[in-house]
Structure 1
């Protein structure tokens, strides 16, 4: 299809959706896919390795495999909705258009916890690792440095973000390949299992229990948070109807494959998960075992860089979620729907989130921030799955043949899996999450009431 034809189709589509196209459509499928992979962080298991292995009784690779399959159903739902509504706003837009404007507003309010607090969470983790490498520089300085860098990259525009993502993706893959090469060499030399084919690294009947593996799947699924962020780039995609859905699913598949590989290789090097010197930093010991301190430093730097790039991607997604809500005047339009004249980026949103990242790092613990991110994310996931069912299966009556599976079975499976993970979250996350939801409901009701009064006065 020619560029002219694509442009004409996009103009018609944007007009049908009721929006004037203001963001720059410059992103290719490759750009969007790299954005999603960097958001996930290809070497995310470095941080969660010991925790998930202890939860699952040494079945981290299996937990990631199940988690990947589970999240693909939701990724498919995001892809379906992005094709139907290729505009910024992601889950907020889908629910607002398909289910109900008020429920859409509340969805956006809840996803605020995910998209806006995720950069904060990433900054906290990156600062912890940076401080471990250079103890003379305190965490709070690292938080400020990372926050400013992330804001500047996002201010320069989505093309600058895409370039940073590409560089970081290459660096992350270089780190992963180096680690795998050292690990394979060590195992072939007799370290760990002494063999590259070890079935107990996937499933060990002596330690496997259903409850342990399922609880680990919930934690492993958190590593996939971010695949949905590619849908926030719909208005900057050259061909959103085709590329966004593919990118969401491919992000899950590629991310899952990388996570499983790291979990499996780690189990070969260190088969007994009960003997980690420190559970929280277990993977650091595995890296040190195969490559010494030099490889530990290299991988730690790569992890920090990947985290910062994830922060760039997270903030970019959050800025566009707020832009979508601001454009619909769910939140103040003059602030949140404002675009920088030169770079066409939602500059006020970027500044607001940078302030939240800096101040929030002093107020919230990593555990609390993580709980809030997950609570908001999985509510959004559940409602997007329902949106597919309502839009395609009920409203459009696409029910025959394969569409029965794609429009009913897949979204229901996605909803059920997300609901199970969500309902089993910590008590603290539920208390704070439901409190935030209550505030959002009150805000939406007050906003709706004031809008009606304004109409009556005119």
Structure 2
């Protein structure tokens, strides 16, 4: 990294929110509807409300840690600063499993969508084309990524609004429950709370993305104010879209008996509500969602790799390098593109099995970091307010994440543990069996561009 070359501070609040929304993919509400409806016995909106509440506790923890450490790196940075550098490295390494493979999943989904429309075109062309486009946009800069991402999110939201308009028309004509206002999507006599919780654990993964917002901290114009706001806004706006979208879908389809394939309901939902023409626009929005997710995650993981390279826990000349003019981690962006190309060798199920483990590791340790930093280090737990904010809320967040851990598939857990073992072996190598402290490997100049806003009390800025 050249001296005085920093990530460029250029992102406003709503650009950051849109990058988070890009990760979350608003259209996913229709892809998971069949699975969630079966599990919850027709109470998908209620399950989404449970999931939203669960995620808001962890969102709070992200906001607290961004205020304390307004630099990129997310759970990696927070854990190394508040607990232990070695543990921080392992958390960052585990998070890479989530971040690196989201672009791969996006590539596979795009290939599936486009192959369905153009079956005569070799599938590999769509993956290669996607990687070239996404890599080029990310090389150009975070503003280009944010602007393209914003357009794709707006298109998805417009399609969802149009779906609701068509849905209202069909409900008025007697489709489904035949009414616009009913408590049935939220409450049924003798409903099983266990089924709703089971559905909520699946739907929680629809919220992945609000956490990645923290990786843009060094490119935010006002990180201490905008990043915590963006984390909450992303989670809440995404939750509202999911609840409202699933409410109308549940009214139109009270059960899954109408679907030929309950595990992939989006094509049938759009066809039954709006016919073949609307189905094309609807599936195009699903494609836009997948592309936006890949674009945003490509940018985010490049920043995480950059911070780990800047700290010299990954080879600094490669991972800690910034282009002097574009001020983007060009080598990391290209590397993520190359990794995404391995989608040619995987199927969608295999790729998705890796992702949830990394996300849950990050969620768990961000909650614990709040306790370690504010309650243990700063001793801010002696008043009822501080005890509630710095112990009770993050503990509740961690407990919600524990429920997700309990429901994690065994294959995902075993694959994740294998990845962490590889990281531990690498850690042993770079520390010479822990004889060298990670703190001595770090760059003497962190490379975080100074910010103008006043520091809040007890905050830390790396310079």
TM (norm. structure 2) is: 0.91
- Contact 2:138/2:333 (8 A) holds in 1: yes
Q: Distance in 1 between matches of 2:124 and 2:35?
A: 26
Q: Distance in 2 between matches of 1:394 and 1:171?
A: 46
Match of 1:428 in 2: 411
1:179-213 deviations in whole A, cap 9, x for unaligned?
Answer: 1111111111211111011222222235x323322
Choose 98-107 or 167-176, whichever is displaced more.
167-176
Q: 1:133 aligns with which of 96, 109, 117?
A: 117
- Contact 1:25/1:236 (8 A) holds in 2: yes
1:118 to partner: Cα distance: 0.9
1:389 lines up with 2:371 in the alignment: yes
1:442 to partner: Cα distance: 1.6
Q: 1:377 aligns with which of 353, 359, 362?
A: 359
Q: 2:84 aligns with which of 92, 100, 105?
A: 100
- Contact 2:30/2:246 (8 A) holds in 1: no
Choose 397-406 or 319-328, whichever is displaced more.
397-406
1:147 to partner: Cα distance: 1.2
Match of 2:454 in 1: none
- Contact 1:276/1:282 (8 A) holds in 2: yes
- Contact 1:76/1:249 (8 A) holds in 2: yes
1:368 to partner: Cα distance: 2.3
1:274 lines up with 2:257 in the alignment: yes
Q: Which runs of 5+ in 1 are unaligned?
A: 1-18
- Contact 2:9/2:221 (8 A) holds in 1: yes
Give the total of aligned pairs.
435
Match of 1:257 in 2: 240
Q: Distance in 2 between matches of 1:81 and 1:20?
A: 26
1:135-186 deviations in whole A, cap 9, x for unaligned?
Answer: 2223322111111111111000011011112211221111111111111111
Match of 1:51 in 2: 35
Q: 2:137 aligns with which of 129, 134, 153?
A: 153
Q: Distance in 1 between matches of 2:420 and 2:93?
A: 7
Match of 1:10 in 2: none
Q: Distance in 2 between matches of 1:315 and 1:420?
A: 28
1:384 to partner: Cα distance: 0.6
Q: 1:162 aligns with which of 146, 149, 162?
A: 146
Q: Distance in 1 between matches of 2:4 and 2:225?
A: 21
Q: 2:189 aligns with which of 174, 198, 205?
A: 205
Q: Distance in 1 between matches of 2:273 and 2:419?
A: 46
Equivalences for residues 167-206 of structure 1 within 5 A? 167-206=151-190
Q: 2:228 aligns with which of 241, 245, 249?
A: 245
- Contact 2:428/2:434 (8 A) holds in 1: no
Match of 1:347 in 2: 330
1:77 lines up with 2:50 in the alignment: no
Q: Structure 1 290/77 Cα, relative in aligned 2: closer, same or farther at 3 Å? A: same
Match of 1:64 in 2: 48
Q: Which runs of 5+ in 2 are unaligned?
A: 441-463
Root-mean-square deviation (CA, aligned residues, Å) is 1.7
- Contact 2:30/2:269 (8 A) holds in 1: no
Equivalences for residues 392-431 of structure 1 within 5 A? 392-399=374-381, 400-431=383-414
1:93 to partner: Cα distance: 0.5
Choose 214-223 or 121-130, whichever is displaced more.
121-130
1:268-301 deviations in whole A, cap 9, x for unaligned?
Answer: 1111223312112323222211210111000101
Q: Distance in 1 between matches of 2:362 and 2:139?
A: 26
Match of 1:300 in 2: 283
Q: Distance in 2 between matches of 1:162 and 1:299?
A: 23
Q: 1:26 aligns with which of 1, 5, 10?
A: 10
Match of 2:219 in 1: 236
- Contact 1:41/1:307 (8 A) holds in 2: yes
Q: Distance in 2 between matches of 1:411 and 1:218?
A: 18
- Contact 2:29/2:246 (8 A) holds in 1: yes
- Provide the secondary structure at the position in 1 that maps to 2:56: helix
Structure whose residues are more often helix by fraction: 1
- Provide the secondary structure at the position in 1 that maps to 2:257: helix
- Provide the secondary structure at the position in 2 that maps to 1:274: coil
1:37 lines up with 2:17 in the alignment: no
